Amino acid sequence: MKGRHTASSRRNVLEQKLKNAKLAWENKCFNVDSFQGNEQAYILISIHRADKLGFLANLRRLNVMLSRCKRGMVICTSRAFMEGKARSSLVGQLAKEWEDGRVSWRDTLRGRF
């Protein structure tokens, strides 16, 4: 998903990839605001920002994002973003604390996580 995409277009791409992989995809992809009030055992979060913090600068929206999992959460983002523009955000601060919990996309593709 290279280039500039809206949250809605990224959601559509993710849903299509789940569908193509013959995985359950209905009601599986949400943006932070539409997931408010819901919970799941495990949540995958994609943080894709190029130039601005967006919702990461809003603590109420971050609370929704970080408090919806019952058992575990995986945040997918770039290290450059977390160490750059997002370093002052709550998620950037968490990334500093959990540095040993990071896994590169190359290791993920090789099944090393």
Residues 59 and 89 in one domain: yes
State the total domains in the chain: 2
Residue 24 has pLDDT above 70, yes or no: yes
Listed as own residue / partner, the contacts of 23-31 with beta carbons closer than 8 Å and 24 or more positions apart are: 31/7
Residues 50 and 7 in one domain: no
Residues 16 and 66 in one domain: no
Residues 70 and 104 in one domain: yes
Average pLDDT value for residue range 39-55: 81
Structure tokens at 59: 């603590």
Residues 78 and 97 in one domain: yes
Structure tokens at 72: 């575990």
Residues 54 and 79 in one domain: yes
Domain annotation covers residue 35: no
Q: What is the mean pLDDT of the chain?
A: 79
Domain annotation covers residue 10: yes
Domain annotation covers residue 54: yes
Residues 25 and 60 in one domain: no
Average pLDDT value for residue range 51-73: 84
Residues 21 and 60 in one domain: no
Average pLDDT value for residue range 6-33: 79
Domain extent for 18: 1-30
Do 73 and 43 contact (CB within 8 A), yes or no? yes
- Percent share of the chain, pLDDT over 90: 0
Structure tokens at 18: 């789940």
Residues 69 and 98 in one domain: yes
Q: Among candidates 14, 2, 89, 87, which has minimal Cα distance to 45? A: 14
